Amino acid sequence: MTREQKRAAKAFELMEPLAGKSEAKKYGTMAHKLPVLVKSAGLTQALHFVESRGNEDQKLLLDHLAKQLHDAKLLKQNSKEALLKEVRSASLQNYIRLTQETLAVLLWHKRFTQSLLKVDASEDND
C-alpha cells in the first residue's frame, strides 16, 4: 500500500461516520478552508485558529489530523493537544515535515468532504 493509499484509507475511515450527519457541514467547510489557511498563515497559526475559533465539529478535524500524523510517526501521542504542542515546539525540519504531511492529509479530507459528506467548497460561507 502506498503512502497516498494509506492517507486516503485513514481519512475515509475517520470521515465515514460523519456521512449524513448535521456536523458534516461545519467539518466540511473547515476541511476546505484549512489548507489555504495553512499555506497563508503557517501550520501553527492555522491549527491554533481552528482550536480557538472553531466549533466542536470543526475541532474534530484537528483530532483526525492528529490521528493521521500519529499514524505517519510524526506525533508521539494521538491527540489534538499533542498536535498543537508539537507544532509550537518542533524544529524547523520537523515543522516542515508536519506541514507537508498535514497538507497531504488535508487533500484527502477535502476530496472526501465533497464525495462522502456532500459538502462543496461553494457552500463555505462561515
Residue 74, in any domain of the structure: yes
126 found inside a domain = no
Q: What is the CATH number of the domain that holds 87?
A: 1.10.520.30
Residue at 125 is within a domain: no
pLDDT, greater one: 125 or 59: 59
Domain presence at residue 115: yes
Q: Look at residue 122 and tell me whether its pLDDT is greater than 80.
A: no
- For residue 101, give its domain range: 3-119
124 in a domain, yes or no?
no
Model confidence pLDDT, tens digit, residues 62-74: 999 999 999 999 9
Query: Is position 86 within any domain?
Result: yes
pTM: 0.91
Specify burial of residue 48 (Cβ count, 10 A radius: 0-12, 13-18, 19+). middle
Domain count, the chain: 1
Is residue 49 over pLDDT 70? yes
